[in-house]
Amino acid sequence: MKQFSDLSKIIHREGYIFIIGFAIVTFIVSSFSGVLGLIGVIMTLWCAYFFRNPDRYTPIIDDAVISAADGVVQSIVEAVPPAELGLGSGEMLRISVFLNVFNVHVNRIPVDGKVIGLHYNPGKFINASLDKASIHNERQSILIQTHSGVKVACVQIAGLIARRIVCDLEDGEEVIAGGRFGIIRFGSRVDIYLPRKTIPLVCEGQICIGGETVLANLKQSGKVAAPKFEIR
């Protein structure tokens, strides 16, 4: 059991079936063609690389909002959050991070708090880099209330070739910023919705590291203390 647990810290469990499948196919085709065998080896290694599950050094800062995903900040706009979360029709600050197929796809909790809402919404699989993906694509919406009472939404959005969203959270669960909570397979996007007046600490085009990059601070005033870090 411990060996399995240790392995899951290197490769996410969602990747096991794909890696084994690629390895079996590679073994079979290599007996017919060395070229196909080489291609199979490359694909198997890429699959293992895609499902990698590294530890991260999460800054311990009160009211910090941590990036839920690796990738590029695609947009920072004011937008209405998903209706299923019951946050009303008012606009919130939305920070969207786009993941390509070479990014780590394990998702991270953005804030300390309690899960007060979970909703899966089936939908399309259009390019996640398009703004309309927030509305039309398959998604998993998560609502977290911080210990100070602020509501923060995190939305996992499927992409053009993404076909599975995994969310391991349960309603009522206490969560810690930077902790792992799920994965989106093969290209995707994660949106974070914050109170409208929140000042972002990242800019469009910036590269984020899930579990490490601070997207914003929910504290509206005052100095932020130098952070400590924990491996998560």
Within a 10 A sphere around the Cβ of 94, how many other Cβ atoms? 21
Q: Between the CA of residue 99 and those of 12, 50, 148, 208, what are the distances in Å? A: 17, 11, 30, 10
- Residue 83's contacts (CB-CB under 8 Å, 6 or more residues apart) are none
**Which ranges constitute the DSSP H helices of 79-187?**
133-136
Residues forming the active site: 188
Number of residues that make up the chain: 232
Place of tokens 């800054």: 59
